[in-house]
């Protein structure tokens, strides 16, 4: 697990640092640098693996030297990671981390498009969920037809918990090598394609596939974890992810703009980071430290954030 990070001269960050938790939630206004924090971790892990582009989509992994802050173009970029084992890893434009300290396969970066789970996918070996969520059908088919039906049943069980109307999920061949995902609901005789489900339900399914796929990444980066999700599902999803990180020694870092998602972190305020822009650079502050300086503790966390009491909101024009 990554217990802390220091960033110097990377994209919108000039000099920032933060402690990370097994499940870290990142909040802040648009354009503050939340995505850049996730990109920084992605680029550090994948810096020397150009073939990751084909696996994780069309987003290129640029050299760190090309991602310096615009105001500090002559100053080298440097990232320091502090691992839970006590090891410190320093990565700059000219230094690769020692072999074995950082494994590119240990990190998965996801900006999920729920619509992807309704599409036909080719079925083959080494199935993995990709950045947008593509691959979920292949992953489920691999688990069901291989020797990890226990993981398939875990995904199916969790999905039924969040959407009780669903009785069963399965795959169906639509071409010689392609399959689609379908579900059967209670009191409905015939299964129907997952593409007919709501985007929120499909998002939950993709997140479940990411977390419970075979050889899942140890560090999972999720952009907009609440995308299309009904607020009543937030608590269950957060509890499931928190339990999963504890039982699998994995780590999740997710961004959100939804105050109701923040409400799920009561008694876990130290797991929330606030990213803001100050003097042209992105800063990172823990929610816990902001709460220490406010006397509005009777309000819900989401209300405090929305009301601007803890920062992390758009500045007035």
Question: pLDDT tens digits, residue range 189-216?
Answer: 899 999 999 999 999 999 999 999 999 9
Please write the tens of the pLDDT for every residue from 63-102: 776 777 777 777 888 899 999 989 998 887 765 666 677 8
Full-model pTM: 0.93
pLDDT category of residue 117 using cuts at 50, 70 and 90: confident
The mean pLDDT value for 303-310 works out to 94
Distance between CA atoms of residues 2 and 86, nearest Å = 10
Who has greater pLDDT, 97 or 52?
Answer: 97
In order of 8, 38, 60, 121, 189, the CA distances from 242 in angstroms are 30, 19, 31, 30, 35
The mean pLDDT value for 283-312 works out to 90
Bridge partner list, 26:
255, 273
pLDDT category of residue 3 using cuts at 50, 70 and 90: very high
The mean pLDDT value for 116-121 works out to 87
- What does the pLDDT read at residue 130? 92
Q: Is the dihedral of CA 18, 22, 28, 32 positive or negative?
A: positive
Which residues make Cβ contacts (< 8 Å) with residue 188, sequence separation at least 6?
none
Distance between CA atoms of residues 191 and 216, nearest Å = 28
pLDDT category of residue 54 using cuts at 50, 70 and 90: very low
Distance between CA atoms of residues 161 and 82, nearest Å = 36
- What does the pLDDT read at residue 266? 96
Parallel, antiparallel or unpaired: strands 272-278 and 281-286: antiparallel
Domains of the chain with CATH codes? 1-111+224-317 (3.40.50.300), 114-222 (no CATH)
What the block records as the tokens of 282 is 């992105």
- What does the pLDDT read at residue 296? 63
Distance between CA atoms of residues 181 and 194, nearest Å = 6
Least confident of 46-50, 211-215, 275-279: 46-50
Strands (E), the chain: 2-10, 13-19, 23-27, 78-83, 88-92, 107-110, 121-122, 166-173, 178-185, 192-193, 219-222, 251-255, 272-278, 281-286
Describe the crossing of helices 199-212 and 149-162 by its angle, rounded to 10 degrees: 150
The mean pLDDT value for 42-48 works out to 82
């Amino acid at each position: 697990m990554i217990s802390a990070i220091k960033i110097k001269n990377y994209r919108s960050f000039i000099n920032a640092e933060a402690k990370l938790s097994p499940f870290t939630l990142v909040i802040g206004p648009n354009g503050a640098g939340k995505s850049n924090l996730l990109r920084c971790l992605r680029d550090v892990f994948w810096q020397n693996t150009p073939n990751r582009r084909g696996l994780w989509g069309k987003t290129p992994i640029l050299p760190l030297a090309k991602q310096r802050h615009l105001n500090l173009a002559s100053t080298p970029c440097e990232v320091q990671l502090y691992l839970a084992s006590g090891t410190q890893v320093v990565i700059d434009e000219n230094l690769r981390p020692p072999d074995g300290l950082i494994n590119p396969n240990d990190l998965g970066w996801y900006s999920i498009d729920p619509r992807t789970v309704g599409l036909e996918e080719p079925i083959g070996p080494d199935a993995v969920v990709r950045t947008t969520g593509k691959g979920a059908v292949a992953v489920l088919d691999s688990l069901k037809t291989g020797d990890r039906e226990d993981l398939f049943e875990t995904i199916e069980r969790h999905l039924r918990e969040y959407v009780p109307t669903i009785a069963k999920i399965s795959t169906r061949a639509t071409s010689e090598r392609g399959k689609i995902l379908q579900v059967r609901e209670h009191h409905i005789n015939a299964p129907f394609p997952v593409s007919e489900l709501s985007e929120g339900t499909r998002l939950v399914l993709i997140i479940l596939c990411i977390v419970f796929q075979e050889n899942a990444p140890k560090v999972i980066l999720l952009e907009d974890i609440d995308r299309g999700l009904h607020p009543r599902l937030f608590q269950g999803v957060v509890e499931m992810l928190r339990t999963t990180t504890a039982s699998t020694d994995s780590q999740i870092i997710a961004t959100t703009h939804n105050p109701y998602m923040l409400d799920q972190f009561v008694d876990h305020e130290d797991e929330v980071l606030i990213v803001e822009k100050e003097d042209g650079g992105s800063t990172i502050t823990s929610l816990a430290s902001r709460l220490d300086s406010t006397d509005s503790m009777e309000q819900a966390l989401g209300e405090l954030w929305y009301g601007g009491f803890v920062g992390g909101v758009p500045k007035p024009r």
